[in-house]
Amino acid sequence: MDSQNLRDLIRNYLSERPRNTIEISAWLASQMDPNSCPEDVTNILEADESIVRIGTVRKSGMRLTDLPISEWASSSWVRHHERARSNERKES
């Protein structure tokens, strides 16, 4: 699978809700041949301008490590939820 198709696939997956790097990697492995799954999903995510790193989580329950795991969302998801949060503040 070429990188553009891979990015499109990930963007679609992230349109539902934010996911962490481990969730994205596991989902990709289930969608394609695990032997051809990219090893460094973070580089793919960082290279896409329509995908945003929205934070990190210390423990995801999926990995036995203390290293932080990035949380990712599509830029459209971020815009939609920023707008909703802005409206909540106006009503307060």
Do the Cβ atoms of 21 and 42 come closer than 8 Å?
yes
What share of the chain in percent tops pLDDT 70?
73
Provide the whole-model pTM: 0.75
d(CA 85, CA 78): 10
Q: What is the mean pLDDT of the chain?
A: 81
d(CA 18, CA 13): 9
* Res 69 pLDDT > 80: yes
* Res 74 pLDDT > 70: yes
Q: Could you report the per-residue pLDDT of 26-68, keeping only the tens digit for each?
A: 898 888 876 666 778 888 899 999 999 999 876 655 555 556 7
